[in-house]
Amino acid sequence: MKRIYCFLVAVELMIGMPVIAQTFSFDGRNREAILVKPTDVFTVETGYGYDFQEIITEARKAQNDTYRLTDGIFYFSVKVPDGNYRVTVTLGSKKAKGNTTVRAESRRLFVQNVETKKGEFKACSFIVNKRNTTINLPDGKTERVRIKKREESKMNWDDKLTIEVNGDAPAVSEIKVEPAPDVPTLWLCGNSTVVDQDYEPWASWGQMITRWFTEDVAVANYAESGETATSFVAAGRLKKIVSLMKKGDYVLMEFGHNDQKEKRSGSGAFYNFAYALKQFVDEARAKEVTPIFVTPTQRRSFGQDGKIQETHANYPEAMRWVAKDLNVPLIELHEMTRVFFETLGVEGSKHALVHYPAGTYPGQVKAFEDNTHFNPYGAYEIAKMMVEGMKTLNLPIVQHVRKDYIPFNPSMPDDWRTFHWNDGPCIDIVKPDGN
């Protein structure tokens, strides 16, 4: 079951008409909203509706005792142009109690297991960034981001905004989608440790950090598996970001995993890598945007002494050197993930990465033993480290961290046994690029 796709939500817009708020009711409580009937399947003509139901059906047929889908999971699609959107989900049901998780686009976590009593309703709002591959240039011409073949099926590169309703007992009364063009945006640049991973059991901090910011902040994750700082630029990903960024935004860059593998002319930590980092900084500052460096996450590589061994050569040091030289704020994720792994220990750290015995997921005939890529628990913990890094730098953006965020210390991580994640129907037994 290699490419099982998830759900998408959408609002058809008339050409020449401004983007307006649209509200969809699933139970008829709001008589002014568009009533969504069980038979309303998404079409281009309607621009909204339930989507990818056959995918959920297929996933249920393939599930086993370990991998099981929540009853009541669904996807809803709304067609919208590029931009940031405030999504307000009203959770709850007149008929039963609920426990609801909401993710958007490629499994970006926004609402986590919110409980509602029978007849109780709770409104939760968050910002979703939606994009396609078109780059609008200042001279009126257009180019396209050169995405990889496998990205063509991702939720992040289409003309729809994607909402996934999941949880132990999903209960959604209403979904409202409205433009939010003025909120500050965190632009994420990086590789497979940052990217929105589409498929279980893979995950990255870029799709988890959305959980910790209010409806006053957008996160636009342009990272992709296998990318280096130079390939990110060459593919047009940075050019797309530059075409959209505005004063007051932030650009976060985590590279180093794949950069060290480059062998072409000029390669090296203090050569092409350092030059590419400077290019990011120059482009950001030209738009009055704050650049932030993030040193790469550690690999799970323990020595005989039980300590993490350095596997990134001098690339973290090169990033520190450029940061100091250009006066760029830097988040020491390299050090925080080292402490995190060593605290969990040689065996315990496996629970933060994709380490699962054969048969855990449908179609998985071999054990997963990946020491680079995180599972949802590991990605969730690293997202908290990123918040702590921003707090350490005293970035103004931290005033928008959600009130339920609890200060985090990588030497005292959350217990992986108590972490709860509702699997989605999208599974891939193939490792991401950049292992």
* Confidence grade of residue 14 (pLDDT, cut at 50, 70, 90): very low
Distance, in Å, from the CA atom of 283 to the CA atom of 357, rounded to the nearest integer, reads 45
* Confidence grade of residue 158 (pLDDT, cut at 50, 70, 90): confident
Count of alpha carbons within 13 angstroms of residue 261, beta-carbon side: 10
- Does residue 7 have a pLDDT over 50? no
Looking at residue 352, its pLDDT comes to 98
Distance, in Å, from the CA atom of 236 to the CA atom of 106, rounded to the nearest integer, reads 20
* Range in 3-7, 32-36, 164-168, 178-182 the model is least confident about: 3-7
Looking at residue 258, its pLDDT comes to 84
- Does residue 3 have a pLDDT over 70? no
Q: 52-90 pLDDT, tens per residue?
A: 899 999 999 999 988 989 999 999 999 999 999 999 999
State pTM to two decimals.
Answer: 0.93
Looking at residue 435, its pLDDT comes to 62
Looking at residue 65, its pLDDT comes to 87
Looking at residue 434, its pLDDT comes to 66
Kindly list the catalytic residues.
Answer: 192, 369, 373
More reliable by pLDDT, 431 or 32: 32
For 212-278, the DSSP string reads GB-TT-EEEE---TT--HHHHHHTTHHHHHHHH--TT-EEEEE--TTGGG--STT-SIIIIIHHHHH
Distance, in Å, from the CA atom of 306 to the CA atom of 96, rounded to the nearest integer, reads 50
What number is the average pLDDT over the span 198-224?
A: 97
What number is the average pLDDT over the span 329-347?
A: 98
For 256-268, the DSSP string reads -TTGGG--STT-S
* Confidence grade of residue 322 (pLDDT, cut at 50, 70, 90): very high
What architecture is the 22-418 domain classified under in CATH?
3-Layer(aba) Sandwich (3.40)
Looking at residue 259, its pLDDT comes to 78
Enumerate the domain spans of the chain. 22-418
* Confidence grade of residue 430 (pLDDT, cut at 50, 70, 90): confident
- What percent of the chain lies above the pLDDT cut of 90? 86
- List CB contacts of 385: < 8 A, sequence separation 6 or more: 205, 333, 336, 337, 340, 408, 410
